[in-house]
Structures are given as C-alpha cells and as structure tokens.
Structure 1
Amino acid sequence: MNDQEPDALLAAAVRLRTEGRPEEARQRLLALSAARPADAEVAYQTAWTHDVLGLEAEAVPFYERSLRGTGLRDEDRRGALLGLGSTHRVLGQYDRAVEVLSGAVEEFPDDGALRTFLAMALFNTGEHHASARLLLELLAATSEDPHVRRYRAAIAHYARDLDETV
C-alpha cells in the first residue's frame, strides 16, 4: 500500500456507508483498520460504521482507539466523543456515558449536541435536575421560537434552580 492508497480506500468505505451499504463499508474498514491500527481517522470511521449497523459493543474499542490517537480534526473528535458517549448510553453504561460526555462538553462547551446527549445520560443516572437544567439552558440559548425567545431570560434563570417558585 502506498501512502495515498489508504486515503482512497477510506474515502471509498465512507462513501459506501453514506450510500446505504454499511456492511460493505464495515468489511473494508476492518481490513484498513487492521493494516493501520494507529490511524485515528480510520478507527473513527470504523466505529461510526459499526454504530450505523447497530453493533454498538463492537464500536466502542474503535471509538476509544480513535480518541487515543492523534490527527482527528476537531469536528471528527467531537463526533467520536459523542459516538462513544452515546454508545455507552445505548449499552446501559450510563455512568461511563456521563463521564465521556461531561469531558466532551468541557472540551467543546459550544456543542449543543454534546450537551443534549449528556442530558439524556444524566437522566438515565437519575440526575433529573441536572438533565433538565442542561436542556433548558440549551433551549434558552439556541431557540429561534419567538415565544421562547420572549422568555429566554426567565427560562435561563429558572434553569439554574428548578425548585425556585418566587
């Protein structure tokens, strides 16, 4: 394999996944991952493809490998963190999901998707106030609904203390 061939193979596998042929993509990515075990992008794409196929348990080690490696673009790192946290949640590993997603939110505080998935994981751990707070803060900060915008300050205020009544 020359240096450009793996990039072409990776692009072809990603294209197969996006065209609705994830099992073919998976087979190609597994071979590429075996040939390039230190390649963070290959590991990320392999994890993602496993998730698409509903093979969450098999996706976890590839997500972890991608995050240990170097060279992931920020957008792909965000995706890998969200994928790993969400996958732990789907597998019922709620505390691990909260751990991964909390770290991801610290790293990327502007990412509303990460905060949303963290809120779901917090809900699963019984942290209902923290979950609702995150979602209300996100709603107040990002909603374009004119009725929500009208009450943005009040929503943000009450998000900090849901038990406040006065």
Structure 2
Amino acid sequence: MGAEERDALLSGAVSLREAGRRDEARDRLVALAARLPDDAEVAYQTAWAHDVLGLEAEAVPYYERALAAGAAPGGLSAEDRRGALLGLGSTYRTLGRYAEAVTTLRRGTDEFPEDGALRAFLAMALYNTGEHHDAVRLLIRLLVETSDDRYVRQYREALSFYAEDLNRLG
C-alpha cells in the first residue's frame, strides 16, 4: 500500500469517528491495522476507535502496539504519544489493571510533566493501588499549579507545604 492510499484510508476513518459514525470507523481502522501492523499512527487511531465505543479491552493491544514504536521514525508524534500514554493508562485503570495504569501514567508524566490530565489520571490510579498519600499530594500540587481560584492562589504556599506531609500537625 502506498503512502497516499494509507493516508486517505486513515483520514477517512478518523473523519467517520469524528462524525459520530464510530462503529464504521472502528471496522475500517481494524482492517487498516491488519494491513499495516507496524504503523504506530494507525494502531493509535484504532485503539482510540475502540475506546470511544467502550471496548477498552480490545483497545489495549492497539495502544501497546502504537507505543512500542517509541519516537522512532514512523512512530507517533509527541502529541499522539501523549494521547496514547493517557489512553492506555486510563484504559488499564478502567479494566482494574491498576499497577499497569500507574506504570504507564508515570511514564506519561515523566515524558509530559506539563500535562495536568496525565497527572490527574495518575492520581486516580495511585488511589486505586492504595497509595492515597501520593494521590492526594499529586492532586494538591496540580490544584496549586493550575487553579485560578483566588483563595487557592492565596493559600498556595501553605497548600504546597502541607501536600508534602498530609499528616503534619501545626
């Protein structure tokens, strides 16, 4: 298959998903992924197509395939890699695969530390693994860094201080 044909098929399937024709998009992407098993972008879009249909277990191998390419030529763009890490991590969490969710989302926050959504999903996965202190600390840090609430801004220093040791008295 040539690059033009691949791009047209991929673009058409993504357009179907965006237009709400999710089942049709999924069918086309599954067929395309079967023809191009080493194409990271096709794998990512196929994972996404499964996820939006609530087919999380079926999305996992496509996310894993997309991320396996790394940043190598033919791999995902940085934005798609960020999305794939978030998608796979949140999907693992939805499936109750909490340790894998934490590992994946930590990798995402290491690669994309500015991404608040990755940190929020990581906090939820940490909660699910019983790491409550780390989960709350991460959420407080995120709140302090991103909130426009004037009262949060007013107490930013105190919140940051106590986030490090939630059991601290006085």
TM-score bin, normalised by smaller chain? over 0.9
Task: Specify the alignment match of 2:11 in structure 1.
Answer: 11
Q: Give ranges in structure 1 of 5+ residues lacking alignment.
A: none
Task: Specify the alignment match of 2:36 in structure 1.
Answer: 36
TM-score by length of 1: 0.97
The letter for the 2-side match of 1:133 is R
The aligned runs of 1:121-132 (5 Å cut-off) are: 121-132=125-136
Q: 1:84 aligns with which of 88, 96, 102?
A: 88
The CA distance in 1 between the partners of 2:93 and 2:3, in whole Å, is 37
Please tell me the root mean square deviation across aligned C-alpha atoms, in Å: 0.9
The CA distance in 2 between the partners of 1:7 and 1:104, in whole Å, is 27
Task: Specify the alignment match of 1:143 in structure 2.
Answer: 147
TM-score by length of 2: 0.95
Q: Cα deviation per residue 1:101-141 (whole Å; 9 max; x = unaligned)?
A: 11111111111111100000000111111000000000001
Which runs of structure 1 show a deviation greater than 3 angstroms over 4 or more consecutive aligned residues?
none
Task: Specify the alignment match of 1:66 in structure 2.
Answer: 66
The CA distance in 2 between the partners of 1:76 and 1:27, in whole Å, is 21
The CA distance in 2 between the partners of 1:145 and 1:7, in whole Å, is 44
The CA distance in 2 between the partners of 1:147 and 1:115, in whole Å, is 22
Following TM superposition, by how much is the alpha carbon of 1:2 offset from its aligned partner in structure 2, in angstroms?
2.5
The letter for the 1-side match of 2:135 is S
Report how many aligned residue pairs link the two structures: 166
Q: Cα deviation per residue 1:33-86 (whole Å; 9 max; x = unaligned)?
A: 011111100000000110001110100000000001242111100000011010
The CA distance in 1 between the partners of 2:26 and 2:99, in whole Å, is 29
Q: Give ranges in structure 2 of 5+ residues lacking alignment.
A: none
The CA distance in 1 between the partners of 2:19 and 2:154, in whole Å, is 42
Percentage of pairs with the same residue: 64
Q: Cα deviation per residue 1:4-53 (whole Å; 9 max; x = unaligned)?
A: 11111111111111111110000110111011111100000000110001
The CA distance in 1 between the partners of 2:43 and 2:149, in whole Å, is 39
The CA distance in 2 between the partners of 1:164 and 1:61, in whole Å, is 43
Task: Specify the alignment match of 1:159 in structure 2.
Answer: 163
The CA distance in 2 between the partners of 1:159 and 1:111, in whole Å, is 19
